[in-house]
Amino acid sequence: MKFLGLLLTSFAELTNIVLEVYMYLIFVAALLSWVRPDPYNPLVRIIRQLTEPVFSYARRLLPRALNNVGLDLSPMVVLFAIILLRNVLVRLLFEMGLELRAG
């Protein structure tokens, strides 16, 4: 059981790191949307390829009235979802792993 607990805590830490890196990526994508960078820049293309599918899903979840205000709120929705995942799912996995390691 200790091995399973160690595996679970490691998975929780890895998930936390991935979610944190994605949060930074969302901040960069939001900043890029304000300055209109070169769309053929490879770095800009990678950031858009990594964030746009999640943003488009978040846009579908938002009410249509919010889509017409001229401000894209999808990065905020995604950030709130990531914060929720980090505070609930990652903590739950980490605590379950610690219990398995101790028990």
11-65 residue pLDDT tens: 999 999 999 999 999 999 999 988 988 889 999 999 999 999 999 999 998 887 7
Report which of residues 6 and 64 the model is more confident about.
6
How many CB atoms are closer than 10 A to CB 14?
11
pTM of the model: 0.86
pLDDT exceeds cutoff 80 at 67 = no
Q: Are 100 and 1 in contact (CB under 8 A)?
A: yes
- For the segment 68-96, the average pLDDT, to the nearest whole number, is 92
What is the percentage of the chain residues whose pLDDT exceeds 70? 98
Spatial CA neighbour of 90 closest among 13, 23, 26, 20: 13
**What pLDDT does 103 receive?**
73
**What pLDDT does 21 receive?**
97
